[in-house]
Amino acid sequence: MEGFVVPLLGLRVFISCIGLVGNVFLIVAIMQAKVNRVKSFELFLLGLAAANLEEILIVTVFDIVLIFRPSSYGVRAWSCRSLKFLTKFGEVTSILFTVLISIFRQQKLRDACKRANLPIYLDGVRSAWAMSSVCVLLAALMSLPVFAIEPEGPAENVTRNATSCLLDFFQCSDTYCPVLNAVYKYLFLLVCNLLPLVVVTVTGCLIMAVLLGQRTTVTPAGGVSGKSKGSSLHRSTVAVLAAMGLFQLDWTLYLILQLTVDPTEFPFWAEVEFFISFSYTSFSPYVYGIGNNLFSLKTFRDMFKLR
């Protein structure tokens, strides 16, 4: 088993670097292109990228500290719980912003022909900020109970065996599961994983129905600009659907594992959980960036001031 530690750690670092670069580029590209006119969709993308970036940085920094200075943690219980809170806070915030993006895009496409250019509720900047604040607040509230749950739990994992920080976030197994831990685990899975997964799946199906119903398009008076705008929206919508598909795949697999696998019986549980979470965190910014023309060659030239 120990022979897998170095390759797994290298793969973790590689995926973290991909995510770090992608989310930083997405934030910079949006801020550079929309510095004075950030719209609701761009604001939601900024929130998603910031949450992804926070999660990646917290996990990476903590891993590095544990590897090179494992004995420096005198207050291990507090450090461990703080890590768990910050990690889950970033993860849940990313999930909620994905839900917000999916609802926003579905609402924009619903009855678009009848509504014409009339805005929807989330088009308003104040409404977008309010909903973003709700996402952040809910993520914080759902992550706070980690400071109250019992510190006892499963055996240590091979990649962090020098510390007492248990990698099972809920610290709850089939053989040991206090009432508070069990209630928190299933409430968390319901509110932060299952419900978002259902919402994203339903909105994804509705978006697909709209796209399939738009097989014949009428070019508006105005010609090229209208056609270009429609093409851009279509490409952006396809990118949203692709990111939603990645989200569905990752978190469906996560729920199946959480409900069927005992972390104490599976020594690589922490690594599997990491790869599931970070596959969306690391690759979704590229999907959104490419689909919304934020990762174009022109953007990179402007970003690095290449002439």
Token pair listed for 112 = 């678009």
> 263 CB contacts (<8 Å, ≥6 apart)?
154, 167, 168, 173, 269, 270
Residue by residue, DSSP assigns 191-223 as: IIIIHHHHHHHHHHHHHHHHHHHTSS-PPPTTT
Low-confidence ranges of the chain (pLDDT < 70): 1-6, 33-36, 63-78, 111-118, 150-177, 214-230, 264, 297-307
Residue 232, phi-psi category: left (phi > 0), alpha (psi -120 to 50), beta (remainder): alpha
pTM: 0.84
Domains defined along the chain, listed by start: 2-303 (1.20.1070.10)
User: What confidence tens digit (pLDDT) does each residue in 156-215 have?
Assistant: 443 444 445 655 566 655 566 677 777 888 888 999 999 999 999 999 999 988 888 766
Mean pLDDT of the chain: 78
DSSP per-residue letters across 147-181: GTS-S--SPPPGGGTTS---S-TT---SS---HHH
Q: How does pLDDT run across 221-246, given as a tens digit for each residue?
A: 444 445 555 677 788 888 999 999 99
Q: Which residue has the tokens 């719980």?
A: 81
